[in-house]
Each structure stands twice: as C-alpha cells, then as structure tokens.
Structure 1
C-alpha cells in the first residue's frame, strides 16, 4: 500500500505480522524473535518463538528489558511484561525479493540500559536510502551479562545472535538480502559487535560491521563472578543458579545500582570508582575466548568489512550526566592514572597538548581516549594488519550556544546524525540545540556514508593502509568534512594522543 498511512501484512516463518506504512516506508515494531527469557528460561540461552496463528499486531515497540533507566521518548521497563526479546523493521514498500541491503542496529547503554525504542534509532531516514533497517532489544545488566555459576555467560550477545538468525530466516519477506547484512552499533552496541566478530558463534550472519565508540570493557570470568557475588549479597541472595534464576528481576536491578553507587562513593575502589559499569562481555572460553583486538589481529574476521568511528570528546558526556565522579586535582589525576595502570607521564603529555585546559578537562580527555578512542582505533588497525578492510573516522562536530558555552563532540552525539533523526524527542541534549543547515548537511552525508557502506562496503574514503597516516582518517565536522591532517588548531592535538596511549 502506498498511501501516507496504511497497513501492510508480512508473512514471517512464525506467522503473519501487521505493520504500518508511512510515506512509503513499511514499519513493523515489536516482532518477537525469541521466547520471553523468564520462568524456566531465566538466565539461559534464548529459545525460538513458537508459530502463531492469525496476524500479529506489530504497530508498537515491544517492552523494555529489566533496567532502572528511563530515557527520553522511550518506554520504561514494565515488570509485568515479559515478552522483551523483540525487534523492529523499517523497509521501503515494494515487491518482496528485491534483495535490498540490511542494516542491523545494536543499541548502546553501558551493557546496562537502553532499548531499540529510543527516538534517535528510528530507521526511517536510512530506509529511504534503500536499506532494510532492523533494530533489536537484548538482555542487559544482570539478566544479560551477570555471571551465574552453571549457566551461560554473555546472554545479551546470545540474544543478538538469535536476532541475526531471525534476520537470515525472515528478512526476504521485507525485501532484504540475508546475504548482505551490515551490523551496526555504538558504545556497548559497538563492543557487542567486536565480540561477535571475535568469536565463532556469529560466523556467516553478517558481511560488514559498522561500530562507533567501542569501549575497552571485556571482563575475565573471575572478575565477572566476583561482581555477581557482590550483587547477590546486596540482594540478600546466595550466588547460586537456583537463587538467582528465581530472584525478582527488580531486586537484581536495585542491587546492581546499589553496588555501582558504592564503587562511585569510594575513591579507593580502583578502576570501578571512575567507571561504575558492572556488566560487560565475559571472556567465557566459549562465545568469547580472547579480547577482540587480539582476535582481529589474528585474522578472526578478515572477510568482514569494518568501519570504525569515535568522537573526539567522548567522556565529556559522562561528566555532563554525572555518571562518573569528577577528577579535579593534580593528585586525583595521578591516582587515576595509577588505578588505570596508565603511564604516569600521560598527564604531562596531555598538558603539553592542551596547556590552558583545567585538570578536569585533561582527565576527561585521557579517560575518553583510554576507554573509547584508542580502543576503537586499535580495532581498526588490528583488522587492517590481519588483511581485513578497515576504515576509520572521527566525529568532531562542534557548535557554540547563544550563551557562549561549547557544544561538545561527545559520546553518542554522532548517532542522531548517522540515523538522520536530528528532530527526534530528547536529541537536543546530545546535539546542543535545534539543528541548523550545516548540521542537516552533515547528517545527510553521514546517512549516505552508512548506506553506501552497507550497500557496497565503501563509505566514500579509502581503507587503512599498512601504516596509518592522517589522510586515512575521515573527520565528520561542520561546515564540511576533512581529512584528519586538516583538523583546526583547537583539535589538532588529538592526532597525537592515541599514539601516546598505545605506549601504555
């Protein structure tokens, strides 16, 4: 149907679904790809959805997985709803069998919160370029990544693999090509993709990978087990499979928040004091046997084309939202470097590159590089050295507000530009205010680059060579894009800091 607003029924392998058609884009929301992960399936691998009779209404997003976060424009977790493993599809209206490229999005959220219903993840603009866009929910927090003795680790990653298998089996019905799938994600979503590339379980489910701001956060099993014991103790439970499987999800969410606050309040707590993320991919010896940089360097995914991007001021977002304790003194900066096992000289090196910055800003620059930027660059370089095709980009879009304050190129600011969702609810916080003409032009360039990469593996600039040079790095900026070597003076120091961090 081609009206501005209509209905369209699509037949999947499990049954018919009814979505809506808006201005030529078919939108199907809340399609289940696995059974509810509760009851006898609690804390276990996702199980297939049984077939249904009739036509299922898929005109609203599915419920959110257990979490305490409430994000602008997105539904909050409702403990009464258990059908949380769902996905959404945006596709251009037309005849089935067109074989359009597929972009599969994995949301971020520190492996602890988030959902596919966030307004900046609307797939309409990308679908208008000729893509079939899929976004999915997956288990986060304790449900997805808490270590439980005798039960599988990395349940959130297993959910993502199950959703990708759904795409392989069903996406033709939406006009997509199951042999031309690009996985895309930011932050925890990008880290998830790095894990899927590193391990064998997702082999053959995607052809390309597009990752933004990948965190260096992979937990040895012993560390994950120790954190789970702390959460169980805070919940008043024994750290056993039976007790944790039977626990109220709300109780584990609250216990996790309690443990995170305790680390944030203790300056002597080591690395978790500065980054109180309790959950992440576990080196379980099965799905993930080694950290992704090592796996990519060994050639684990050379057949997968890779595009990596990070922002130039990642950690300023964490300061703005108050998710990490500030470091504002020289002594505190020295202690941070020691806790993170980073070279003590980094403070002086960064100070020489940004001599007028406050201690807080030096800390934020180092922390952003340590957690996101350097790791993202390392993934691209390792993939290229192993013989894979890897491209690298940085997001450096800045503005000045009317009051003279700076709009930073911080963590997640690039996402609404790449999705073409600059007018979505709650986006002003990430972008610093209403979009202007330069912002909209940048968004069009980023949407086009994502679409071209998903279609044919070429976003518009060359892959990394054997030895990276500034010209190999594409910089997204306003009023126009540039090569890294052409960064303005206020940002030029960023060319050097990844090299300093590599020496750690």
Structure 2
C-alpha cells in the first residue's frame, strides 16, 4: 500500500508504524475551534493543497494535565480537532473500523497517549481511528447562547469524517464501532442516543463508563464559578474575552477550592467540574433512560469495567482521603446514598478499613454500577449487550499489590504491554500470561468490531457464560466478598452533582 492517502480535504502521507501497519497522524477533521468559531459547533476543515505530512500527532486540547508519554498543551495551539489512523500495510478492503474516544473526566487526555497506539489492533485486522476533541470549558462549559456539549459535537464530526474518508484507508464506512473508556465510554453512551450521531456507527464499546452528568442549572453554576475565578463576566462576551489558558487556570483554582474544603459537598471528594449537560438540543435526555426506551437497540454494545476501579484515583491523589467512620458517613450523605448501602458494604467486607470501603463505594458509584445498568438497559430494550470484567491482579516482587484499577485494562485491550510509559498501569514488565491475556482481549475487540460477537454470549442468553472475566490464565479465581447490587436499587443514576 502507498503511504499517501486521499481524503476529501487533501492528500496526507503516513509512515510505517511497523512493517505491516501504516499510521497517519494529525489529520484535521474540523476547523480550529477558536476565534470566531470558539464555543460554536465544529466547522468543516479547510482543504489543503499538496501532500500533508501525517507523521506527528496534532496539538491536544487546552488543559493543564501533563500525562506520562503524552504531549502537553501550549497556549496558541489551535488545530486541536484531528484524527489519527492505523491501517494494515497490505492494503485490505472494507475492513471493520474502530473509532476511539479517550477518557480524562472531560478535562484532560488526548489521542497521543501511548495507551492508544493502534498498531496491534490494526495488525488484528481493524482500521483504527483515534481523535482529539474539545475538553474542559472549551468543550463542556456552559456558555449562554452557545451549544452545550461541544466536545460531543466534535466527536460526531469525527464520525462523519470517518464515514466520508475511511474507505481511502481500507476501512468499511458501513461497519464502524465507536469505543471509549471512562468519560470516553460515557460519551459513547451519549452518542448512542443522540440524533446527530444516528447511523454513523453500528457497534459500541464502553469500558468503565463514568456516571456523572449535569443538569443545565449545575452547568450554569459551574460557569459562574469559573468566570469569577477568571475575573470575567459569565456572559458570552465576557467568557470569550478570557483566553483558553485563563479558563483552564480558573477551573483549576475552582477545583482546588473544592478539594481543600470538606464542607463543599459532593465535589470535594473528586472535584471534576465538567460532564455532558442534559436537557438541551444536543442531549435532551440522559443516556440510561434513552437506552432503556430502545432508541439504540440496533447498535451492538460491549461493556467492561475493572474490579477495583477507584483505587487508581486514590493512588494518583485525585480524590479525598477518608480515614474515619464519620467522614465516610458524611461522604454518603453528600452523595445522597442511603445508610443501608454503607451498612451492606461493611457487612460484605467486615475486615475492610474505612479507606477501602470508601474506594469500593465510590468506584461502584461512578463506574461499576453505571456499567451494569447501561448493559442491562440496552439488553432489556431488545438490544444485544455483552458484559465483561477486568480482574488482572498480581503481587509484585517487592510485595506491592497490583490492582485491577481504572485504566489497567487499556494496555491489554490495545495490545501495548511493552511500552515502559505504561508500566505504572500494569505494575512492571509483562509476563507470558499477561501477553496471552492481551492477545485474547485484542481478539475480542477485533471480532466484536467485525461481527458483533466478542466470543461469549450476550446478556439474557441461556447459552454459556454471559459475562467474561478477564484475568491471566495463571491467576486463580479469588473468592472475594462482593456487596450485592441490590444495595444500589434505589440510588438514582446518573449522578447529578450539586
């Protein structure tokens, strides 16, 4: 295959990411969303003449995060709406396509993270598309008179780019799977029910979907806080007068204020400010209710969560440390959790200390319970839904317990175990058993994208296992007490933070 590809905007040249895989990076799918286009819906990319170089990732969206192995944002970087493509070098034709939405609490992250190198998945027979979209206030902040959920609209624009251009890379525009993790997985759920994304993909993968959504009132309140911290009016003109880096810095100050104030309500425990806004034109109803109504029953769904989700957030210091029963009770009250729920967790894990109870409850609240409800709602409405759990755990040589925490499944599902920048997620060098686990997970994604069958039965089936547990073959199943899901029966989802 020639490493030059013709898109609707112009030609682009890629490079050999491996002997059998071509990568093409930093292709604009929409115009830079700044200047007169700031806080607007995405606009078409400007065409170019000649052959554009596609050997480097495009700039990432405005953010203050500095993630291992990933680029940082610099003020002045504007061409942030780009896609990257990996495709088998032998050409192929009408191959299944996987489009990836990264996570990061709608605030940070990018397609340039080393987790999301598409070489292994392309080698498995997919054409892989990853993308950057607007984050933080630029993508999810409420601006009066402007469309909410601009980050989701960017994702829809990237899907339209895929529909129009992916055949040039050997992909089948009629066989697209949309996949994501954490906030990216929740974005997948949003796009499953958004009118603007209808028909742009036929399958969906959601790993550890985040349960947090906002009402318009909450989003407007957040805007007022950020505007005050930035020293500008909370009006369209006032917000537009603040540079993107000024709003990033202002949001960080608001986050720190919540983090340092135990009396500030539910945002104190993990002060994420942004989430999809419900109730407007873009996203009129929450995805869980919409899936339960059957609006996406024609989209196959694969859901996964890890078994120790929130321990990662604790390890990287992004959540409050709770060490007393009184603070645990205050945490439950701030989130409106019934007393019976905490009592049920304590009864199921009587030896667990307060920090572990807190992390278990918080992980289930934000990720695990929502993952199950998405799959159940979709299956209950007549859709095909597959469920899986990632439970790879090890004891390191120094005695460190390597957990099946949030994001730990990503290097395995992408087949990227050997990148040293990901060693924190997997706890060191991979073992032969880890490599076999990664091979099986890559194969499941590839098969699901190709046919809708990841290798085990869908929910509601009476044939074989209906939930795959991902663990290395040398890791014996561990009988760990698990709080019954009935404890969550009366807890509303999604969580709407005050």
How many pairs were matched up? Answer: 490
Q: After superposition, where does 1:197-216 map in structure 2 within 5 Å? A: 197-216=192-211
Residue 37 of structure 2 is aligned to residue 31 of structure 1: no
Residue 387 of structure 2 is aligned to residue 397 of structure 1: no
Secondary structure of the corresponding residue to residue 196 of structure 2: coil
- RMSD of aligned alpha carbons: 1.5
**From 5, 12, 25, the counterpart of 1:17:** 12
Q: After superposition, where does 1:233-244 map in structure 2 within 5 Å? A: 233-244=228-239
Residue 69 of structure 2 is aligned to residue 73 of structure 1: yes
CA contact (8 A) 1:142 1:252 kept: yes
Give 2:158's aligned residue.
163
User: 1:157-179: CA deviations, max 9, x gaps?
Assistant: 00000000000000000000000
CA contact (8 A) 1:442 1:480 kept: no
Residue 466 of structure 2 is aligned to residue 472 of structure 1: yes
- Displacement after TM superposition at 1:245 (Å): 1.8
Give 2:487's aligned residue.
500
Secondary structure of the corresponding residue to residue 282 of structure 1: coil
- Displacement after TM superposition at 1:197 (Å): 0.8
- Displacement after TM superposition at 1:497 (Å): 3.3
Give 1:440's aligned residue.
435
Q: After superposition, where does 1:357-396 map in structure 2 within 5 Å? A: 357-396=352-391
Secondary structure of the corresponding residue to residue 219 of structure 1: coil
Secondary structure of the corresponding residue to residue 45 of structure 2: coil
CA contact (8 A) 2:147 2:282 kept: no
Structure 1 stretches of 4+ moved >3 Å:
468-471
Q: After superposition, where does 1:206-285 map in structure 2 within 5 Å? A: 206-285=201-280
**CA 1:469–1:385 in structure 2 vs 1: closer, same or farther (change >3 Å)?**
farther
User: 1:272-304: CA deviations, max 9, x gaps?
Assistant: 111201001001421211111100000110000
CA distance in 2, matches of 1:385, 1:115: 34
CA distance in 1, matches of 2:437, 2:204: 22
CA distance in 2, matches of 1:66, 1:156: 12
CA contact (8 A) 1:315 1:410 kept: yes
- Displacement after TM superposition at 1:502 (Å): 2.5
CA contact (8 A) 1:112 1:140 kept: yes
CA contact (8 A) 1:145 1:154 kept: yes
CA distance in 2, matches of 1:388, 1:399: 36
- Displacement after TM superposition at 1:471 (Å): 4.0
CA contact (8 A) 1:373 1:498 kept: no
Structure 2 gaps of 5+ residues are 492-498
Give 2:182's aligned residue.
187
Secondary structure of the corresponding residue to residue 201 of structure 1: helix
CA contact (8 A) 2:96 2:450 kept: yes
CA contact (8 A) 1:35 1:85 kept: yes
Residue 476 of structure 2 is aligned to residue 489 of structure 1: no
TM-score (norm 1): 0.95
Structure 1 gaps of 5+ residues are 2-6
Deviates more, 1:439-448 or 1:18-27: 18-27
Give 2:84's aligned residue.
88
**CA 1:175–1:480 in structure 2 vs 1: closer, same or farther (change >3 Å)?**
farther
**From 119, 122, 145, the counterpart of 1:124:** 119
User: 1:178-212: CA deviations, max 9, x gaps?
Assistant: 00000010001001011111221100000000000
User: 1:435-490: CA deviations, max 9, x gaps?
Assistant: 11111111111000000000000001100008x999421110122699xxxx5213
User: 1:349-385: CA deviations, max 9, x gaps?
Assistant: 1112212111100110010001100001000000000
Secondary structure of the corresponding residue to residue 90 of structure 1: strand
TM-score (norm 2): 0.96
**CA 1:470–1:219 in structure 2 vs 1: closer, same or farther (change >3 Å)?**
farther
